[in-house]
């Protein structure tokens, strides 16, 4: 496949509370969303099984976070230009408003060719936990460093509630997981992730652009018919805290009401045993048309290009053996 890229436009305790586990619950049980490898405690496994997410505190060292921040700033200043990297702005930020800097950049994604940022996807402390969900053969599928800007007043810094599987033409969903690491203190003031616990047990819902008056960023699709009364958990996180979550978990993020830029780095991982699917005729067809259309516009992609081609080009083996993906 050619060099194609998608342009796209994340309270209750966020981690298991400590407590005694009854002896009955210690008996072997059927786990659907986690694998046996002695990394997660029984309590952590049960929390993820029930809720679809798990926060591991203080997982990524400050030194690594600082290196990612330094590299991001170099990209913003155009001192480095990794192949295939997509740099995005908020819909309300005009091209002439700022000189090249982090103030113009709301997200960089597909940084698999940037050795410094891609280190995140190979950190042993990250892969140790990823393996609990994907198994030992691990592919890094989609990378992002998110720089949520101070909201302009039009609330465009929000990310609508969505399921990440909407973007992914590969299955099974239970062998896919996102690792999302806070690069600083994140709370409701600067737009922390909000999750709807337990929604990973449901199906993939139709997505489209929300009808927001202030505008919506490119590719920021949202669920049209989620249950309004679902309990929401706002993930207050410190620098280095990492949340792992299922691709069917409904989540989003609020607007950034501060004057700073809220940073996080993430990667979606999948088992190398996953397989690609054809999304034509499904609820994902709208995102395929948009992604392929943009790829053709910006990269001169061939007419036969589909979502699978684009994702195959992004995928990188980070542990174990490559099989299907």
Task: Look at residue 308 in the predicted model and tell me its pLDDT.
Answer: 85
Mean pLDDT over 254-275 rounds to 94
* Number of C-beta neighbours around residue 32 at 10 A: 8
Q: How confident is the model at residue 3 (pLDDT cuts 50, 70, 90)?
A: very low
Mean pLDDT for the chain overall: 83
35 within a domain of the structure (yes/no): no
66 within a domain of the structure (yes/no): yes
**Helical H runs in the chain?**
42-51, 62-76, 115-118, 124-134, 285-299, 307-314
Task: Look at residue 210 in the predicted model and tell me its pLDDT.
Answer: 64
Inform me whether the pLDDT recorded for 250 exceeds 50.
Answer: yes
146 within a domain of the structure (yes/no): yes
Inform me whether the pLDDT recorded for 320 exceeds 50.
Answer: yes
Q: Are strands 138-148 and 316-319 parallel, antiparallel or unpaired?
A: antiparallel
Find out whether the peptide bond into 172 is cis, omega within 30 degrees of 0. Answer: yes
3 state DSSP class of 299: helix
Angle subtended at Cα 248 by Cα 245 and Cα 249, rounded to the nearest 5 degrees: 50
Q: 276, 261, 259, 279: which is closest to 312 by C-alpha?
A: 276
Task: Look at residue 22 in the predicted model and tell me its pLDDT.
Answer: 38
CA distance 323 to 311: 15
Residue 204: which domain range? Answer: 42-319
Q: At what angle do helices 307-314 and 285-299 cross, to 10 degrees?
A: 70
Task: Look at residue 188 in the predicted model and tell me its pLDDT.
Answer: 94
33 within a domain of the structure (yes/no): no
Contact 136, 271 (CB under 8 A): no
36 within a domain of the structure (yes/no): no
18 within a domain of the structure (yes/no): no
What pLDDT, in 10s, does the model give residues 188-197?
999 999 999 9
- Domain count within the chain: 1
201 within a domain of the structure (yes/no): yes
CA distance 157 to 209: 14
User: What's 270's domain CATH number?
Assistant: 2.60.120.620
Q: 19: exposed, middle or buried (C-beta count within 10 Å: 0-12, 13-18, 19+)? A: exposed
Q: Among 25-34, 136-145, 162-171, 256-265, name the one with the lowest average pLDDT.
A: 25-34
Task: Look at residue 200 in the predicted model and tell me its pLDDT.
Answer: 97
Q: How confident is the model at residue 205 (pLDDT cuts 50, 70, 90)?
A: very high
Task: Look at residue 23 in the predicted model and tell me its pLDDT.
Answer: 39
34 within a domain of the structure (yes/no): no
Of 3 and 35, more confident: 35
What pLDDT, in 10s, does the model give residues 292-319?
777 676 666 565 677 888 888 889 999 9
Inform me whether the pLDDT recorded for 44 exceeds 60.
Answer: yes
Inform me whether the pLDDT recorded for 7 exceeds 60.
Answer: no
């Amino acid at each position: 496949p050619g060099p194609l890229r998608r342009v796209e436009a994340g309270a209750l305790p966020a981690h298991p509370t400590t407590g005694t586990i009854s002896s009955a619950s210690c008996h072997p049980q059927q786990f659907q969303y986690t694998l046996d490898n002695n990394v997660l405690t029984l309590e952590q496994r049960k929390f993820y099984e029930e809720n679809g997410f798990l926060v591991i505190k203080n997982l990524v060292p400050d030194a690594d976070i600082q290196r990612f921040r330094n590299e991001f700033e170099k990209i913003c200043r155009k001192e480095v230009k990794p192949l295939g990297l997509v740099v995005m702005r908020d819909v309300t930020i005009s091209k002439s408003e700022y000189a090249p800097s982090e103030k113009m950049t709301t997200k960089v994604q597909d940084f698999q060719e940037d050795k410094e940022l891609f280190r995140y996807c190979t950190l042993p402390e990250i892969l140790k936990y990823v393996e609990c969900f994907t198994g030992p053969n691990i592919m890094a599928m989609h990378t992002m460093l998110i720089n949520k800007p101070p909201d302009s007043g039009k609330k465009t810094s929000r990310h609508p509630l969505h399921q990440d599987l909407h973007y992914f033409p590969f299955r099974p969903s239970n062998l896919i997981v996102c690792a999302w690491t806070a690069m600083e203190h994140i709370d409701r003031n600067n737009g922390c992730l909000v999750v709807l616990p337990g929604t990973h047990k449901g199906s993939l819902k139709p997505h489209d652009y929300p009808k927001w008056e202030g505008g919506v960023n490119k590719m920021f699709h949202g669920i049209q018919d989620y249950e309004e009364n679902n309990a929401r958990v706002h993930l207050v996180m410190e620098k280095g805290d990492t949340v792992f979550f299922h691709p069917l978990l409904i989540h989003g993020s609020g607007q950034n009401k501060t004057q700073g830029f809220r940073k996080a780095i993430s990667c979606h991982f999948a088992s190398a045993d996953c397989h690609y699917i054809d999304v034509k005729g499904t609820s994902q067809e709208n995102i395929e048309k948009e992604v392929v259309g943009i790829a053709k516009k910006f990269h001169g992609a061939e007419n036969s290009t589909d979502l699978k081609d684009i994702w195959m080009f992004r995928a990188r083996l980070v542990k174990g053996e490559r099989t299907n993906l």
